[in-house]
């Protein structure tokens, strides 16, 4: 189900050190209905390379296990739609020339491509999940089903703008990814790679964004190092608040006068200090929440980040009665590795004492949309700044 990966996927160094080890954990999106067999467990251990500041997992799970029938669908929350619109305008500002065609790697249900449609003529995608590709097609996108590689690239188009939103950290072979860009771009194409920014993760203690789909935790320095001997370079970066702090790399073909963006500086100590603080704070949060008379607790939101909480704290249905989530693919299933049911209705919230918002990056929007009798019960696992 998984292979051990102990060489840096950027520079090949074997001098990697563990900076956060969460042991064997369930796959973050392995939502199973009663009676269905779970995919299994894999080590969740983060290794750090001092040569290029890349952090990566020690285990790489077979991507077809993770993505062949994917339960994650692109958010259509107001927060995320507003971000998509802002990113689109930033892409238009950074790209030199008209945009006729846009190709999205990991196009999911096509929500982003649909919002780009007013500014281009052709929208297309590549995605390994056939169930989600069908949804994208309904939004007008031509989708090649499969992982992003030379084979699927040949079934796609050469785009003026290529976008990979929160998928690059899921890619095992970065060098193959960069080489494949030549098959789907033109001379003046702009490649936009958006990822959770590891600097924000360390600063804010957002270690619940560590799970098996996120193979890498990306710094500016690691991307500059990756592209140093290729025809590509990072022309600009932009920071965003979504997913607890994200960064978009605007990548173009190298020219004589190209100026590469400055590196960041993240150390082994930064990683270790931040991860140990997360573990300590997680235990304190649960201890304080459950202190005193027994409380009836529910969860709000079943994003991938919730799995580290339920796994690290060994939570069961006796601890959390249910988790509410709007995603139809998750409803009627159990939270990965637990007997905690995921429900679509709001029944039961009012009779509970506390609701833990695992989708804490949407906390304000969730609280605003909840009735007063529920909104006052909602808390985040511990307050992320």
Q: What CATH number does the domain containing 349 carry?
A: 3.40.50.720
Domain-located, residue 384: no
Domain-located, residue 385: no
Are the CB atoms for 115 and 84 separated by under 8 Å? yes
* C-beta atoms surrounding 199 within 10 Å: 20
Q: Which residue has the tokens 């003026």?
A: 160
Looking at the fold, whether 334 and 186 belong to one and the same domain comes out as no
Looking at the fold, whether 252 and 109 belong to one and the same domain comes out as yes
pLDDT at 305 (0 to 100):
94
Domain-located, residue 186: yes
CA distance 152 to 150: 6
Looking at the fold, whether 205 and 353 belong to one and the same domain comes out as no
Looking at the fold, whether 318 and 336 belong to one and the same domain comes out as yes
Domain-located, residue 39: yes
The residue among 257, 289, 321 that closes a domain is 289
CA 68 vs. chain centroid, Å, equals 17
CA 172 vs. chain centroid, Å, equals 14
**Cα angle: 212, vertex 215, 216; to 5 degrees:** 140
Domain-located, residue 73: yes
Looking at the fold, whether 270 and 212 belong to one and the same domain comes out as yes
**Cα angle: 196, vertex 202, 208; to 5 degrees:** 65
CA distance 320 to 298: 5
Looking at the fold, whether 245 and 326 belong to one and the same domain comes out as no
Structural domain including 358 reads 293-379
pLDDT at 181 (0 to 100):
97
pLDDT at 385 (0 to 100):
42
**Neighbouring C-alpha atoms within 13 Å toward the C-beta of 42:** 26
Domain-located, residue 34: yes
pLDDT at 71 (0 to 100):
60
Looking at the fold, whether 188 and 304 belong to one and the same domain comes out as no
Q: Mean pLDDT by 10-residue block, N- to C-terminus, for the chain (385 residues)?
A: 94 97 96 92 97 96 77 74 97 96 96 97 93 91 92 92 96 96 97 97 94 96 97 97 93 90 93 96 96 97 96 98 94 97 92 96 92 95 62
**Neighbouring C-alpha atoms within 13 Å toward the C-beta of 89:** 5
pLDDT at 383 (0 to 100):
56
pLDDT at 168 (0 to 100):
96
Nearest alpha-carbon partner for 9 in 66, 57, 64, 45: 57
DSSP class of residue 120? Answer: -
pLDDT at 299 (0 to 100):
98
Looking at the fold, whether 232 and 332 belong to one and the same domain comes out as no
Looking at the fold, whether 301 and 284 belong to one and the same domain comes out as no
**Neighbouring C-alpha atoms within 13 Å toward the C-beta of 219:** 25
Looking at the fold, whether 216 and 316 belong to one and the same domain comes out as no
| Residue 198: both structure tokens together | 């590891």
The residue among 246, 268, 289 that closes a domain is 289
Helix 305-312 × helix 268-289 angle, to 10°: 70
Nearest alpha-carbon partner for 23 in 44, 38, 1, 8: 44
Domain-located, residue 79: yes
Domain-located, residue 165: yes
Looking at the fold, whether 131 and 188 belong to one and the same domain comes out as yes
The residue among 289, 306, 341 that closes a domain is 289
């Amino acid at each position: 189900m998984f292979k051990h990966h102990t060489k840096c996927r950027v520079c090949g160094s074997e001098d990697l050190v563990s900076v956060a080890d969460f042991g064997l954990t369930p796959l973050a999106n392995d939502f199973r209905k009663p009676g269905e067999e779970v995919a299994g467990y894999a080590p969740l251990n983060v290794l750090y390379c001092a040569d290029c500041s890349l952090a990566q997992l020690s285990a790489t799970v077979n991507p077809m296990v993770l993505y062949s029938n994917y339960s994650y669908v692109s958010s259509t929350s107001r927060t995320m739609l507003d971000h998509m619109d802002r990113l689109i305008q930033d892409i238009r500002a950074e790209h030199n020339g008209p945009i006729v065609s846009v190709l999205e790697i990991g196009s999911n249900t096509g929500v982003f491509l649909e919002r780009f449609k007013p500014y281009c003529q052709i929208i297309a995608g590549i995605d390994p999940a056939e169930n989600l590709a069908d949804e994208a097609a309904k939004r007008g996108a031509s989708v090649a089903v499969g992982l992003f590689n030379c084979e699927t690239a040949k079934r796609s188009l050469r785009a003026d703008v290529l976008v990979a939103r929160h998928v690059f950290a899921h890619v095992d072979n970065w060098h193959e990814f960069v080489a494949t860009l030549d098959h789907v771009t033109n001379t003046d194409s702009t490649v936009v790679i958006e990822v959770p920014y590891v600097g924000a993760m360390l600063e804010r203690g957002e270690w619940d964004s560590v799970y098996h789909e996120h193979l890498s935790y990306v710094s500016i320095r690691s991307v500059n190092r990756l592209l140093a001997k290729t025809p590509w370079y990072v022309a600009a970066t932009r920071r965003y608040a979504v997913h607890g702090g994200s960064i978009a790399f605007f990548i173009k073909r190298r020219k004589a006068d190209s100026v590469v963006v400055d590196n960041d500086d993240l150390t082994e100590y930064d990683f270790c200090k931040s991860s140990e603080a997360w573990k300590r704070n997680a235990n304190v949060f649960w201890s304080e929440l459950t202190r005193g008379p027994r409380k009836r607790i529910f969860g709000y939101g079943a994003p991938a980040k919730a799995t580290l909480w339920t796994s690290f704290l060994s939570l069961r249905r006796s601890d959390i009665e249910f988790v509410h989530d709007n995603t139809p693919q998750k409803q009627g299933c159990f939270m990965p590795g637990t007997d905690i049911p995921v429900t679509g209705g709001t029944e039961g919230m009012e009779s509970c004492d506390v609701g833990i918002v695992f989708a804490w990056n949407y906390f304000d929007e969730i609280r605003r949309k909840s009735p007063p009798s529920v909104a006052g019960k909602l808390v985040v696992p511990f307050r992320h700044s």
